[in-house]
């Protein structure tokens, strides 16, 4: 039981990679707080796992007051030993077609939201230690047409993670990121099937990732098994980035 007795927060924990991470953390002995906007899916996951193991806290990571309330509720339910900072949205449009509103929405969830949750986690973990795992993307490492705000946000997450790791180290707070390749979750629903087929062909392993495969990486970095790892980015991408460097 790699997370026995630990308390975790998973943002975006009601769906896809986040929901898989909640399941894996609980399987490994953690109690988990699911922080998400999707009330129906979040509460269904709690029913499935049991109210003693998981709690849903409706949270919009773009709202500082809600993030503070999340940590208060998590402290009461399970404490916060680890945070999987995973909430995010997709966006696809040419830069010349991208509005200020679209830019602002992607940045405020995928970058500022990650910062806001990490900052609150670091405030909570001061004097206690802990582990923060930020969800970046392979798109944080290279450019791709039609993804300007998304690549800006994810590139920001990768480099911000290094800075937070430096600041957290004296307090025993580890901060790492993971960079998934394309993973079969509702986030890809905005893509046409032929685009998905093309994406498969870009992965050396010739398939998309499964949410559980990313969840396992988040679990490892959140756990004490990764006790000497901080400031790192772990690709979980079927070899995608190996062909880009
Ligand atoms: N699926 C992929 O191919 C892929 C690839 C690389 C990175 N990622 C990243 O993985 C993370 C999880 O994505 P996923 O594929 O599981 O998608 P998903 O859509 O299945 O899950 C994302 C979750 O985030 C929640 N969310 C959205 N906005 C929120 C907000 N403001 N506050 C709180 N929760 C919010 C959604 O309600 C949803 O439950 C994201 O950060 C995404 O960018 C996904």
pLDDT for 17 beyond 90: yes
Q: Is the pLDDT of residue 157 over 80?
A: yes
Tell which atom from ligand 1 comes closest to the C-alpha of 41.
39
Give the position of tokens 């923060």.
Answer: 132
Q: Pocket of ligand 1, candidates 66, 87, 113: which has the most ligand atoms within 8 Å of its Cβ, to mutate? A: 87
Cβ 166 vs Cβ 221: under 8 Å: no
- Torsion angle (degrees, nearest 10) of CA 208, 108, 99, 41: 50
Residue located nearest, by CA, to atom 23 of ligand 1: 12
Q: What is the pLDDT of residue 96?
A: 98
**Region for residue 206 given its phi and psi (left: phi exceeds 0; alpha: psi -120 to 50; beta: otherwise):** left
Mean pLDDT across the stretch 58-87?
A: 98
Report the mean per-residue pLDDT for the chain.
97
Instruction: Using alpha carbons, list the distances in angstroms from residue 165 to 27, 78, 133, 175.
Output: 27, 24, 10, 5
pLDDT given at position 191: 84
Q: Which residues contact 128 (CB under 8 A, 6 or more apart)?
A: 171, 172
Predicted confidence band at 76 (pLDDT cuts at 50, 70, 90)? very high
- What pairing do the DSSP bridges indicate for beta strands 31-36 and 173-180? unpaired
pLDDT at 74 over 90: yes
Active site residue 124: no
Per-domain boundaries in the chain = 7-239
| Digit-coded pLDDT (tens) for 171-185 | 999 999 999 999 999
Say if residue 190's pLDDT is above 90: no
Q: What is the mean pLDDT of residues 126-130?
A: 97
Asked if residue 168 has pLDDT above 90, the reply is yes
Among 1-5, 69-73, 122-126, 195-199, the least confident range: 195-199
Nearest CA to 14 among 51, 55, 53?
55
CA of 130 to the centre of ligand 1 (A): 23
Question: With 90 as the cut, is the pLDDT of residue 202 above it?
Answer: yes
Report, at the CATH architecture level, how domain 7-239 is classified: 3-Layer(aba) Sandwich (3.40)
Mean pLDDT computed over 123-135: 98
* CB contact at 8 A, 173 and 122: yes
Structure tokens at 68: 């503070």
Q: Is 188 in the pocket of ligand 1 (CB under 6 A)?
A: yes
pLDDT, residue 165, reads 98
Would you say the CB of residue 18 lies under 6 angstroms from ligand 1? yes
Specify the higher pLDDT residue, 189 or 138.
Answer: 138
Would the CB of 8 count as within 6 Å of ligand 1? Answer: no
Handedness of CA 68, 70, 73, 74 (dihedral sign): negative
pLDDT score, position 55 = 98
Yes or no: say if 179 and 155 are a contact pair by the CB < 8 Å rule.
Answer: no
Name the pLDDT band for 189 (thresholds 50, 70, 90): confident
> Could you tell me the CA-to-CA distances from 167 to 156, 163, 174 in Å, in that order?
16, 6, 9
In short, whether 185's Cβ falls inside 6 Å of ligand 1 is: yes
Q: For the chain, percent helix, then strand, then coil, each to nearest 5?
A: 50, 15, 30
29-68 pLDDT per residue, tens: 999 999 999 999 999 999 999 999 999 999 999 999 999 9
The answer on pLDDT for 245 being more than 80 is no
Contact 165, 174 (CB under 8 A): yes
Query: What average pLDDT score do residues 67-74 get?
Result: 98
Give the DSSP letter string of 138-197.
GGGTS--TTBHHHHHHHHHHHHHHHHHHHHHGGGTEEEEEEEE--B-SGGGGGS-HHHHH
Q: Return d(Cα 85, Cα 88) in angstroms, integer.
A: 9
- pLDDT band at residue 188 using 50, 70 and 90 as cut-offs: confident
């Amino acid at each position: 039981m790699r997370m026995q007795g630990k308390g975790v927060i998973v943002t975006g924990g009601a769906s896809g990679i986040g929901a898989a991470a909640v399941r894996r953390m609980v399987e490994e002995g953690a109690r988990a707080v699911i922080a998400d906007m999707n009330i129906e899916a979040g509460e269904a996951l709690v029913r499935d796992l049991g109210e003693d193991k998981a709690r849903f806290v409706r949270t919009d990571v773009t709202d500082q007051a809600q993030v503070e309330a999340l940590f208060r509720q998590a402290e009461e339910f399970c404490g916060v030993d680890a945070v999987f900072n995973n909430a995010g949205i997709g966006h696809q449009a040419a830069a010349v077609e991208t509005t200020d509103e679209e830019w602002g929405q992607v940045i405020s969830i995928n970058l500022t939201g990650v910062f806001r949750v990490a900052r609150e986690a670091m405030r909570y973990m001061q004097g206690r230690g802990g582990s923060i795992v930020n969800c970046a993307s392979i798109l944080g490492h290279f450019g791709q047409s039609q993804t300007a705000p998304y690549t800006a946000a994810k590139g920001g997450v990768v480099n911000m993670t290094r800075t937070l790791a430096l600041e957290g180290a004296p307090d025993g707070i580890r901060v790492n990121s993971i960079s998934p390749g394309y993973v079969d979750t509702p986030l890809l629903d905005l893509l046409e099937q032929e685009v998905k087929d093309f994406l498969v062909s870009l992965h050396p392993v010739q398939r998309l990732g499964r949410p559980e495969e990313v969840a396992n990486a988040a679990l490892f970095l959140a756990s004490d098994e990764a006790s000497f790892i901080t400031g790192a980015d772990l690709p979980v991408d079927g070899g995608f980035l190996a062909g880009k460097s």
